[in-house]
Amino acid sequence: MPSSPTSEDFFSDEVFDATAELFKSLASPLRLAIVNSVHEHPKCVHELVDELGVSQPLVSQHLRVLRAARVVHGNRRGREITYELTDHHIGHIVGDALAHTGESDDE
């Protein structure tokens, strides 16, 4: 009887490395909150500042990390830039992780 395929049969080392880098870019509570927020709909920096209750420079710093990791991208609308996820899968990953973490131990 043939064995079941493993994840190593489907993914290269480069894919594992890139995935680890993605998770590193998400390894901040504020960045997780930003991703969760913009997953709902695109937002500009001042909306994130108001929603998350942190300073504008701090939001901008974390957005810079998320942009560099290609988690979010910005779209200019006049004088403002709205940020949204580059891929809806990222929102699902974060949402699933938050749901998993929020589950009680007795379930």
Whose structure tokens read 């049969």? 9
Higher pLDDT, 56 or 5: 56
Predicted local distance difference test score (pLDDT) of residue 3? 54
Confidence band for 10, pLDDT divided at 50, 70 and 90: confident
Residue 106 confidence (pLDDT) above 60: no
Express each pLDDT in 18-38 by its tens digit: 999 999 999 999 999 999 999
Six-digit token string for 21:
């880098």
How far apart, in whole angstroms, are the C-alpha atoms of residue 39 and residue 87? Answer: 9
Q: Is the pLDDT of residue 105 over 70?
A: no
Reported as a single tens digit per residue, the pLDDT across 47-90 is 999 999 999 999 999 999 999 999 999 999 899 999 999 999 99
Write the CA distances from 85 to 2, 5, 63, 101, integer angstroms.
40, 31, 11, 22
Question: pTM value?
Answer: 0.84
Name the β-bridge partners of 82: 44, 75
